[in-house]
Protein backbone atom coordinates (compact mmCIF):
# COMPACT_ATOMS: atom_id res chain seq x y z
CA UNK A 1 0.00 0.00 0.00
CA UNK A 2 1.29 3.45 -0.87
CA UNK A 3 1.90 5.74 2.08
CA UNK A 4 0.40 8.61 0.08
CA UNK A 5 -2.74 6.58 -0.65
CA UNK A 6 -4.20 6.65 2.86
CA UNK A 7 -3.40 10.01 4.38
CA UNK A 8 -5.92 11.82 6.57
CA UNK A 9 -5.18 15.40 5.59
CA UNK A 10 -2.80 17.66 3.78
CA UNK A 11 -1.74 21.21 4.37
CA UNK A 12 0.96 23.84 4.35
CA UNK A 13 3.49 24.55 7.05
CA UNK A 14 5.11 27.60 8.59
CA UNK A 15 7.68 28.26 11.30
CA UNK A 16 9.49 24.99 10.59
CA UNK A 17 12.24 24.22 13.09
CA UNK A 18 14.02 21.10 14.28
CA UNK A 19 11.54 20.97 17.18
CA UNK A 20 8.21 21.39 15.39
CA UNK A 21 6.11 23.60 13.13
CA UNK A 22 2.74 25.23 12.59
CA UNK A 23 0.40 23.63 10.07
CA UNK A 24 -2.60 24.92 8.12
CA UNK A 25 -4.45 21.59 7.74
CA UNK A 26 -7.58 20.56 5.89
CA UNK A 27 -8.87 18.37 8.77
CA UNK A 28 -9.35 19.09 12.46
CA UNK A 29 -7.09 17.63 15.16
CA UNK A 30 -7.15 17.47 18.96
CA UNK A 31 -4.49 18.66 21.38
CA UNK A 32 -2.37 15.68 22.46
CA UNK A 33 -3.08 13.67 19.30
CA UNK A 34 -0.05 11.91 17.83
CA UNK A 35 0.35 12.19 14.05
CA UNK A 36 2.82 11.09 11.40
CA UNK A 37 3.97 13.95 9.18
CA UNK A 38 5.43 13.45 5.73
CA UNK A 39 7.33 16.52 4.57
CA UNK A 40 8.44 16.94 0.97
CA UNK A 41 11.62 19.01 1.27
CA UNK A 42 13.53 20.25 -1.78
CA UNK A 43 16.90 18.53 -1.84
CA UNK A 44 15.94 16.11 0.96
CA UNK A 45 12.92 14.38 -0.54
CA UNK A 46 10.27 12.84 1.73
CA UNK A 47 10.93 13.05 5.47
CA UNK A 48 8.67 11.17 7.91
CA UNK A 49 8.42 12.56 11.45
CA UNK A 50 6.16 11.54 14.36
CA UNK A 51 4.72 14.58 16.12
CA UNK A 52 2.30 15.52 18.88
CA UNK A 53 -0.32 18.26 18.47
CA UNK A 54 0.43 20.95 21.08
CA UNK A 55 -2.39 23.30 20.11
CA UNK A 56 -5.25 23.15 17.62
CA UNK A 57 -7.59 25.85 16.39
CA UNK A 58 -8.98 24.65 13.06
CA UNK A 59 -7.61 24.99 10.45
CA UNK A 60 -4.33 25.67 12.28
CA UNK A 61 -2.33 23.47 14.61
CA UNK A 62 1.06 23.53 16.24
CA UNK A 63 3.03 20.33 16.53
CA UNK A 64 6.17 19.28 18.34
CA UNK A 65 8.33 16.52 16.93
CA UNK A 66 8.55 13.44 19.17
CA UNK A 67 11.84 12.50 20.84
CA UNK A 68 14.40 10.51 18.93
CA UNK A 69 14.07 10.43 15.14
CA UNK A 70 17.58 11.84 14.78
CA UNK A 71 17.84 11.03 11.07
CA UNK A 72 14.56 12.84 10.24
CA UNK A 73 15.49 15.84 12.39
CA UNK A 74 18.92 15.96 10.71
CA UNK A 75 17.20 16.10 7.30
CA UNK A 76 15.04 19.03 8.50
CA UNK A 77 18.11 20.76 9.98
CA UNK A 78 20.07 20.29 6.74
CA UNK A 79 17.14 21.66 4.74
CA UNK A 80 16.88 24.71 7.02
CA UNK A 81 20.64 25.32 6.84
CA UNK A 82 20.50 25.36 3.03
CA UNK A 83 17.28 27.37 2.78
CA UNK A 84 17.09 30.31 0.39
CA UNK A 85 14.20 32.71 -0.21
CA UNK A 86 13.09 30.78 -3.30
CA UNK A 87 12.94 27.40 -1.52
CA UNK A 88 9.56 26.27 -0.24
CA UNK A 89 8.36 23.14 1.49
CA UNK A 90 6.47 21.38 -1.29
CA UNK A 91 3.76 19.83 0.84
CA UNK A 92 2.82 17.77 3.83
CA UNK A 93 0.63 14.75 4.42
CA UNK A 94 -0.70 13.96 7.89
CA UNK A 95 -1.54 10.44 9.09
In this predicted structure, what is the pLDDT of residue 30? 92
Q: Using alpha carbons only, what angle is made at residue 76 by residues 73 and 80, rounded to the nearest 5 degrees? A: 140
75 three-state secondary structure: helix
Q: Give the three-state DSSP class for 70.
A: helix
Please check whether residue 69 is in contact with residue 49, taking contact to mean a CB–CB distance below 8 angstroms: yes
pLDDT at 92: 60
pLDDT per residue, tens digit, the chain (95 aa), is 344 455 677 788 888 888 899 998 888 899 999 998 888 877 777 888 899 999 999 889 999 998 888 888 888 888 887 765 455 555 565 55
- Of 75, 64, 70, nearest to 15 by C-alpha is 64
Res 3: pLDDT: 44
Structure confidence at residue 16 (pLDDT): 84
Domains in the chain, please, with CATH?
3-94 (2.40.10.220)
pLDDT at 85: 47
Q: State the pLDDT at residue 87.
A: 52
Task: Please tell me the distance from the alpha carbon of residue 92 to that of residue 10, in angstroms, as a whole number.
Answer: 6
Amino acid sequence: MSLWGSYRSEGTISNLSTGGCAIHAMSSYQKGEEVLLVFVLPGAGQVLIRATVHWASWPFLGVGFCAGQDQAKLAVCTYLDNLTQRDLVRGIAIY
